[in-house]
């Protein structure tokens, strides 16, 4: 995987980069302010902004596609790549080849999006009176066009750019000169796509390219790909993803990690292995803002402290790397929200059902930390009530933000989007005006632009993967798989074992976001077939893919830690191996003991 969160490469400030950055800032701020104003006007019984929820959904599309353009600008589109293992002399040729394929796929998506825009313009659809819907959809061809142009520009020198530029004419070739459904062309395109995927083609282009090829081969309008992408915007849960992510960026940039680290250290560092426990807790707490943000921002604080207190460096790096994805079962984590969106599982039920599995996985990693602390006689600080009280008082506002998230989500005071917007708004006020560690004029690049870049990379994958999934459903492939499973696997226990193995393979080969879009349509009916509770199925799915963050070739936490701590991948794999083992045991317990998931649902009347 290309690292999820790396500092953007320096870019010359042009009118285009300024426009992209400015529009991203404006779109994100409107996404925060519109739901908050809606809550305020509803409380005061006055009229709010007309069609505010619909506007926020359209802004989510803009944030996603602007972020995708930003990610392409800095070369940070998520990709599965084996090119790092290739000899140095052939890497430029690989860059030209993947640049050509990326330009071709992006150009085809540009053309397909424009067809979609034209159809909406001719239909006369409006979002509000006097506000045509096609105005908002224009961002799709604009963003895909920018990605196509940058694919050519980033291919290398001028000779490489000339070769990659031939990808821009592929829509004309496939649309006008080669009749649809040509088998030889389809199989050639498929072979090229597989090769490019292994060599570093961004994941969105892999799914988008296969979807375009499949629709073209079936003589189906390729505009269905952007149509499916736009359909994703209709989900009422989707806007919460950029909003919760933005809240996390506000807190990290404002210095919340240092204050919360002081709190946990004051409360737990007196215990045997206390600092390891602190590391696990604070990393799990901030996973909802993104594993990349956790490892790159908090890891730099935690590893030196662990080493100073006699924990071995290798163990310390392994602990931080493994803890960077422990909070995926929190209701505000992006994969959990996406799973709920796509499987139509109520997010409150998934959160409640995930309480014990979450505690189990956190405890298993923390137990290794405590054991290591005892074994290496790690330094322990005596408990000081005054220091603990002072740390709690200093961080009191930041400690209230997670509590407010939970109340907002489950208290019935508004929608999930409104709860997410309120969380981001409060984080902005707390970090910008109470602690004053966040300065929007100074930090907008590190907050808004970074947030849009990360969210864009995720939503872009989701959007094009929906087109690919739509083809699979229309071809009745899920139905055929279900028939085969039903005919050959008769035991629920055997099915769960096969499921675990399959999900581990998926986690090894596929990004978690793409896996949700592709695999969930298969899991939901299979779970019902074997009488597995939908919430347990969701917990099993997320817990298994949590392991995917820690094992190659996709293990994104390994890449992020290798970048942050300047260590080779083999070093990271060995450092995380003990934690991967205990997490695997935890996943097996979650899978085969339904009580862990179903008991909390009964306790809370769900």
pLDDT tens-digit readout, 384-432: 999 999 999 999 999 888 777 777 666 666 788 888 899 899 999 999 9
- Specify the pLDDT at position 28: 94
**CA distance linking residue 560 with residue 7, whole number of Å:** 12
* 597 inside domain: yes
**Mean pLDDT value of segment 135-162:** 91
pLDDT tens-digit readout, 260-278: 888 988 998 888 888 888 8
**Mean pLDDT value of segment 210-226:** 86
pLDDT tens-digit readout, 45-58: 888 777 788 899 99
CB atoms within 10 A of CB 368: 20
**Mean pLDDT value of segment 78-94:** 69
Sorting pLDDT into bands at 50, 70 and 90, what band is 237? confident
Higher pLDDT, 43 or 433: 433
- Specify the pLDDT at position 6: 38
In terms of domains, do 219 and 115 share one? yes
Q: Over pLDDT 70: what percentage of the chain?
A: 92
Of 232, 264, 293, the one marking the end of a domain is: 232
Could you tell me how many residues make up the chain? Answer: 606
Instruction: Say yes or no to pLDDT of 8 above 50.
Output: no
Cα angle 15-20-22, degrees, rounded to a multiple of 5: 90
Of 184, 216, 232, the one marking the end of a domain is: 232
Assess whether the previous peptide bond of 553 is cis (omega < 30° from 0): yes
**CA distance linking residue 416 with residue 432, whole number of Å:** 24
Q: Are strands 199-202 and 79-81 parallel, antiparallel or unpaired?
A: antiparallel
Measure Cα distances from 553 to 198, 504, 570, 579 in Å: 10, 12, 12, 17
Of 232, 258, 274, the one marking the end of a domain is: 232
Reduced to 3 states (helix: H, G, I; strand: E, B; else coil), residue 346 is coil
Cβ neighbours of residue 251 under 8 Å, at least 6 residues apart? 257, 286, 289, 398, 401, 427, 430, 431
* 12 inside domain: no
In terms of domains, do 148 and 255 share one? no
* 45 inside domain: no
* 72 inside domain: no
Instruction: Say yes or no to pLDDT of 36 above 80.
Output: yes
Instruction: Say yes or no to pLDDT of 365 above 90.
Output: yes
**CA distance linking residue 386 with residue 392, whole number of Å:** 10
* 40 inside domain: no
Measure Cα distances from 468 to 125, 180, 214, 227, 471 in Å: 26, 18, 8, 12, 5
In terms of domains, do 465 and 587 share one? yes
| pLDDT-wise least confident of 20-24, 447-451, 472-476, 501-505 | 472-476
Number of domains in the chain: 2
Contact 279, 306 (CB under 8 A): yes
Higher pLDDT, 95 or 513: 95
- Specify the pLDDT at position 9: 42
**CA distance linking residue 25 with residue 32, whole number of Å:** 11
| pLDDT-wise least confident of 383-387, 438-442, 592-596 | 438-442
In terms of domains, do 472 and 568 share one? yes
Contact 339, 538 (CB under 8 A): yes
**CA distance linking residue 204 with residue 148, whole number of Å:** 13
- Specify the pLDDT at position 290: 57
Look at the alpha carbons of 516, 511, 565, 437 in this order and tell me if their dihedral is positive or negative.
Answer: negative
In terms of domains, do 482 and 405 share one? yes
- Tokens 């990379």 sit at which residue? 457
In terms of domains, do 211 and 136 share one? yes
Q: Over pLDDT 90: what percentage of the chain?
A: 26
**CA distance linking residue 416 with residue 240, whole number of Å:** 7
Instruction: Say yes or no to pLDDT of 5 above 60.
Output: no
Cβ neighbours of residue 301 under 8 Å, at least 6 residues apart? 257, 258, 261
In terms of domains, do 200 and 248 share one? no
Phi, psi torsion values for 8, nearest 5 degrees: -60, 140
**CA distance linking residue 101 with residue 107, whole number of Å:** 10
Mean pLDDT across the chain: 84
Q: Give strand pairing partners of 126.
A: 132
Instruction: Say yes or no to pLDDT of 150 above 90.
Output: yes
* 325 inside domain: yes
In terms of domains, do 171 and 210 share one? yes
- Specify the pLDDT at position 288: 63
Residue 544 CA to chain centroid, in angstroms? 16
Please, what's the b/e burial string for 182-201 (b: 16 or more CB within 10 A of its CB; e: otherwise)?
A: eeebbeebeebbeebbbbbb
Please, how many CA atoms are within 13 Å of residue 597, restricted to the half-sphere of its CB?
25
**Mean pLDDT value of segment 246-261:** 87
In terms of domains, do 439 and 307 share one? yes
Phi, psi torsion values for 554, nearest 5 degrees: -90, -20
Contact 565, 317 (CB under 8 A): yes
Sorting pLDDT into bands at 50, 70 and 90, what band is 477? confident
- Specify the pLDDT at position 7: 41
Token pair for 380: 């322990």
Q: What is the pTM of this model?
A: 0.83
pLDDT tens-digit readout, 313-328: 999 999 998 888 888 8
Cα angle 463-508-527, degrees, rounded to a multiple of 5: 70
In terms of domains, do 181 and 211 share one? yes
- Specify the pLDDT at position 394: 94
- Specify the pLDDT at position 4: 40
Higher pLDDT, 138 or 346: 138
Sorting pLDDT into bands at 50, 70 and 90, what band is 94? confident
* 82 inside domain: yes
In terms of domains, do 496 and 552 share one? yes
In terms of domains, do 146 and 109 share one? yes
Sorting pLDDT into bands at 50, 70 and 90, what band is 553? low
pLDDT tens-digit readout, 283-313: 888 776 555 567 766 777 788 888 888 899 9
> DSSP string spanning 288-334?
GG-HHHIIIIIHHHHHHHHHHTT--HHHHHHHHHHHTTTTTTSTTSH
Instruction: Say yes or no to pLDDT of 1 above 50.
Output: no
* 448 inside domain: no
- Specify the pLDDT at position 81: 55
Domain that includes residue 127, residue range? 77-232
Instruction: Say yes or no to pLDDT of 280 above 70.
Output: yes
């Amino acid at each position: 995987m290309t690292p999820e969160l790396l500092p953007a490469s320096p870019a010359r400030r042009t009118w285009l980069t300024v426009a992209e950055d400015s529009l991203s800032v404006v779109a994100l701020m409107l996404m925060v302010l519109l739901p908050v104003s809606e809550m305020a006007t509803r409380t005061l019984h006055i009229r709010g902004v007309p069609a505010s929820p619909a506007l926020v959904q359209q802004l989510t599309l803009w944030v996603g596609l602007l972020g995708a353009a930003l990610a392409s600008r800095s070369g940070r589109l998520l990709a599965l790549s084996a090119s790092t293992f290739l000899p140095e002399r052939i890497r430029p040729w690989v860059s030209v080849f993947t640049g050509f394929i990326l330009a071709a796929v992006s150009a085809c998506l540009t053309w397909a999006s424009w067809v979609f825009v034209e159809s909406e313009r001719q239909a006369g659809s409006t979002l509000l009176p006097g506000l045509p819907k096609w105005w908002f959809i224009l961002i799709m061809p604009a963003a895909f066009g920018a990605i196509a142009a940058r694919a050519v520009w980033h291919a290398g020198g001028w000779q490489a750019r000339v070769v990659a530029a031939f990808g821009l004419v592929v829509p004309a070739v496939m649309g006008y000169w080669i009749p649809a459904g040509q088998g030889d062309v389809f199989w050639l395109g498929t072979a090229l796509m597989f090769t490019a995927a292994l060599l570093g083609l961004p994941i969105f282009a892999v799914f988008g390219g296969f979807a375009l090829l499949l629709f073209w081969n079936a003589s189906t309008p390729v505009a269905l790909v952007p149509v499916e992408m736009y359909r994703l915007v209709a989900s009422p849960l989707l806007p919460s993803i950029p909003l919760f992510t933005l809240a996390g960026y506000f807190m990290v940039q404002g210095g919340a990690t240092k204050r919360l680290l002081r709190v946990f250290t004051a409360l737990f560092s007196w215990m045997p292995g206390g600092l390891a426990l602190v590391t696990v807790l604070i990393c799990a707490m901030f996973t909802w803002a993104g594993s990349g943000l956790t490892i790159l921002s908090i890891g730099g604080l935690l590893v030196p402290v662990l080493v100073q207190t006699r924990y071995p460096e290798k163990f310390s790096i392994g602990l931080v790397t493994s803890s960077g994805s422990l909070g995926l079962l929190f209701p505000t984590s992006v994969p959990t929200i996406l799973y709920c969106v796509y499987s139509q599982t109520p997010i409150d039920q998934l959160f409640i059902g995930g309480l014990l599995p979450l505690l189990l996985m956190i405890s298993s990693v923390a137990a290794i930390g405590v054991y290591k602390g005892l074994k290496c006689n790690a330094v322990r600080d005596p408990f000081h009530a005054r220091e603990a009280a002072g740390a709690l008082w200093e961080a009191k506002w930041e400690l209230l933000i997670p509590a407010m998230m939970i109340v907002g989500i489950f208290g019935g005071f508004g929608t999930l989007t409104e709860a997410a917007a309120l969380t981001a708004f409060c984080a902005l006020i707390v970090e910008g005006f109470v602690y004053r560690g966040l300065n929007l004029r100074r930090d907008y690049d590190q907050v808004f632009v970074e947030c849009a870049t990360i969210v864009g990379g995720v939503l872009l994958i989701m959007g094009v993967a929906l087109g690919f999934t739509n083809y699979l459903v229309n071809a009745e492939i899920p139905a055929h798989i279900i028939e085969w499973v039903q005919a050959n696997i008769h035991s629920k226990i055997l099915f769960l074992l096969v499921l675990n193995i399959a999900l581990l393979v998926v986690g090894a080969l596929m990004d978690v976001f793409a896996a949700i879009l592709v695999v969930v349509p298969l899991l939901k009916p299979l779970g019902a077939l074997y009488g597995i509770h939908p919430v347990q199925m969701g917990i099993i799915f997320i817990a298994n893919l949590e392991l995917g963050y820690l094992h190659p070739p996709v293990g994104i936490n390994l890449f992020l830690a290798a970048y942050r701590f300047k260590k080779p991948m083999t070093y990271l794999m060995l450092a995380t191996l003990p934690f991967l083992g205990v997490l695997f045991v935890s996943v097996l317990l979650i899978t085969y003991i339904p009580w862990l998931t179903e008991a909390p649902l009964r306790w809370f009347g769900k």
